[in-house]
Structure 1
Amino acid sequence: MSSIAPVSKLSIVIPAYNEGATIVKILEQIEAVELLSNLAKEVIVVDDCSEDNTAHAVQQYQANHPNLSLQYHKHAVNQGKGAALHTGIRAATGDYIVIQDADLEYDPAEYNLLLRPVLRGVADVVYGSRFMGGSPHRVLFFWHSIGNRWLTMLTNLFANLNLTDMETCYKLFRRDIVQGLTLAEKRFGFEPEVTLKVARVPHIRIYEVGISYYGRTYNEGKKIGWRDGLWAIYCIIRYGLLR
């Protein structure tokens, strides 16, 4: 991939499940961001059959902010974060797609950090790393950090990459590349699956940039657990060996 076309629009895909307490705040932060090169924003919220007020909050925001390009999709049954991302990726029309969690762990003001390698014409995919240093990082769980690093190392082993944070939410893809992948994982297995599959795209150019991380505890709504870590190991081996 020796060159890329000029970038005019960024699609922001937000998978949401019972995030009524934070979804409006994240939409406000996204709307306030001024993207480099005056890129347009397309926001796509995929509600994975929430049982709280997520739907009402998003639809009310949509009605009160007509100048924001905002799509709202809702799954009839809960399927998982990966399934919500599949829906959002299919619906995206921007030149690039970035994933944004519906909580407040990641700062939309840092989209421009991810976009810089793209706008310089050197990157097709950019990951935001929580472990590269230089940005605020909430101190939380020791074993989570060990697990994240171990899963990243195992992914690197199969993908022949040197990523520092495979499990990061902030992944930015050239739309035609990620829409061209056949993705199957419906839960948190999306992270290793998409990483391993995108790494096999011929001549792919993958970058990492350091980002902030304002993590939350389980009492504050964190959902990923140890079973998801075990499934991630299975996915790494499966998609690492499966060509």
Structure 2
Amino acid sequence: MKKISIVVPVYNEVNTVRGVLERLRDIPLNGVSRQIIVVNDASSDGTDGVISKFLADNPELDCVYETHDKNKGKGAALHTGIASATGDFLIVQDADLEYDPEEINILLKPMLKGVADVVYGSRFVGGNPHRMLFFWHSRGNKMLTFLSNMFTNLNLTDMETCYKLFRTPLIQSLKLKERRFGFEPEVTAKISRIPNVRIYEVGISYYGRTYAEGKKINWKDGFRAIYCILKYNLWSK
């Protein structure tokens, strides 16, 4: 049986992390077993206690719990999670319920058919539910995707999506450096240069949050993304 490693980077998500983990535990995965890798990036709001209680309540789960002694950023949490993965496939699942874990099956479909090495879940294609929130965030995401596509020669519609599914040996072969939200343009640039890599994109839902509800990314991360697109496509090949 094939196995998927689901990496969950967590920082101060005390209100949502248990719900995410319960859904990852319960969703049917088309005959694929699961490994859940939770990386707590030095949360200070009680998140650790919630995760520890979930693990104690579910000892039968194939679950790895990694912790950082200080906050290092989402990218750093992903580096830790990727290194711990033992599955055939690997996907990132944020701990904030903006993405529906049941839709992991949508990304798995082309992978299990043997036609894909990487699958991106796009919030901007298909007829899936999409919460209406920030106009300029949407414009910014599309601009960053356009800029990234210019250098990678891909025709992605959502480079900044959280839902990226990889063959595990492929993502583990990359030397990733970005410690915050620069992970998305960096991994896209480096994946695009792998010879004969097969990249697919599928439509997914998006249940976005407001800042009052806990959203963390901000305009500074947008400028960092532009820098990373240029850095990893032009200066650091």
For Structure 1 versus Structure 2, the TM-score category normalised by the shorter chain is: over 0.9
Q: Aligned to 1:13, which of 7, 25, 29?
A: 7
- Map residues 40-55 of structure 1 onto 2, 5 A cutoff: 40-55=33-48
Output aligned runs, 1:195-234, within 5 Å: 195-234=188-227
Show structure 1 runs of 4+ deviating over 2 A. none
Secondary structure in 2 matching 1:118: helix
Structure 1 unpaired stretches of 5+: 1-6
Q: Deviation of residue 59 (structure 1)? A: 0.8
Counterpart residue type for residue 72 of structure 1: Y
TM-score under structure 1 length normalisation: 0.96
Counterpart of 1:67 in structure 2 is 60
Residue type at the aligned position of 1:34 = P
Deviations 1:128-175 (A, max 9, x none): 000002100000000000000000000001101000000000000110
How far apart are the structure 2 equivalents of 1:137 and 1:32? 23
Counterparts in 2 of 1:120-159, with a 5 A limit? 120-159=113-152
**How many residues are treated as equivalent by the alignment?**
236
Matched to 2:93, the amino acid is: Q
Which residue is equivalent to 1:34? 28
Q: 1:70 deviation in Å?
A: 1.2
Give the secondary-structure state (helix, strand or coil) at the position aligned to 1:126.
strand
**SS of 2:12 mapped into structure 1:** coil
- The structural deviation recorded for 1:67 is 1.9
Question: 1:175 & 1:32 partners in 2: Cα distance?
Answer: 22
| TM-superposition CA deviations, 1:179-226 (whole Å, max 9, x none) | 000000000000000000001011000000000000000000000000
Aligned AA for 1:23? V
CA distance in 2, matches of 1:158, 1:76: 37
The equivalent of 2:78 in structure 1 is 85
Kindly report the root-mean-square deviation, in angstroms, between the aligned alpha carbons of the 2 structures: 0.7
- Structure 2 residue identity aligned to 1:16: V
TM-score, normalised relative to structure 2: 0.98
Q: How far, CA to CA, are the matches of 1:39 and 1:151 in structure 2?
A: 33
Name the residue aligned to 1:3. Answer: none
Percent of aligned positions that are identical: 61
